[in-house]
Amino acid sequence: QWYQRRVRGDRRNRLKVYSGLYAMSVRNFQEAADNFLDTVSTFTSYELMDYLTFIKYAIISSMLALDRKDLTKKVVEGADINEVLHDLPLFKKYIYSLYNAQYADFFVALAEIEGFLKSDRLLAPHTSHYVKEMRIRSYAQLLESYSSLTVNYMANSFGVSEKFIDMELSRFITTGALNAKIDKVGGIIQTNRPDKKNWQYQAVIKQGDLLLNRIQKLSRVITI
């Protein structure tokens, strides 16, 4: 019985790794992160990848999918992940620069992560989307700390020009990705904190778009 339980447990863990890998390949980073993090301490799927590659995927997925509380608990303070971060200096910098609000360092790390994504056969198709979403996340994290701030301050924080920040924020504000507005004359960014119901509505819309995208992909496969 002990052996059978162990075999069943190993199969469940392997299934989670396979499921996580598939979820990541179709841009479902939330499901990927959940599956990967559940198997960090029990990983045995070496037929798929080595352990360091697995940890890289877990970090990539978690950085985009988890809120700050879960990221702290499962990644930043995760013993199994921290144990191997000395072998992954780029990924360590990627995690901690965002976590510690070192945004200029984070942008440098993100640029290097972009190179990793482009070279990975599963992640390459999602590179632009991933990098865009992580930029939005970092902008939102800084904006959440203030009711208003200057464009100059934000540009200096990220180590970029005011023109770049103005262009980026204008784009993401227009699409609803960021809750803020820019006073072009005064060079001031004012944040708009949405109420809980509005936040839930936006979350539903985002999930609906994701589901529609999957249905469209499936319909093309069936047609072929």
pLDDT confidence of residue 222: 63
Point out the least confidently predicted range of 20-29, 39-48, 187-196, 212-221: 212-221
The Cα–Cα gap between 82 and 97 comes to: 15
pLDDT of res. 209: 66
Could you tell me which residue, 199 or 66, shows the higher pLDDT? 66
Structure-block tokens of residue 181: 């507005």
Residue 185 is predicted with a pLDDT of: 87
Residue 180 in 3-state DSSP? strand
**According to the model, what pLDDT value does residue 11 have?**
81
**Mean pLDDT across the chain, nearest whole number?**
88
User: What is the tens place of the pLDDT at every residue in 19-36?
Assistant: 999 999 999 999 999 999
Q: Which of 24-42 are b and which e, b meaning 16 or more Cβ less than 10 Å from the residue's Cβ? A: bebbbbebbbbbbbbbbee
Amino acid occupying residue 119: S
Q: Tell if the pTM clears 0.85, that is, is over it.
A: no
Residue 192: band (very low, low, confident or very high) from pLDDT cuts 50, 70, 90: confident
Q: List residues bridging with 183 in a β-sheet.
A: 188
Count other C-beta atoms under 10 Å from residue 87's C-beta.
11
Query: Can you give the pLDDT at residue 159?
Result: 96
Per-residue pLDDT, 221? 60
pLDDT digits (tens, 9 = 90+) for 50-59: 999 999 999 9
pLDDT exceeds 90 at position 116: yes
What local confidence, expressed as pLDDT, does residue 21 receive?
Answer: 95
d(CA 42, CA 35): 12
Residue 95, pLDDT above cutoff 80: yes
How far, in whole angstroms, is CA 216 from its chain's centroid? 24
Share of residues in the chain with pLDDT > 90 (%): 75
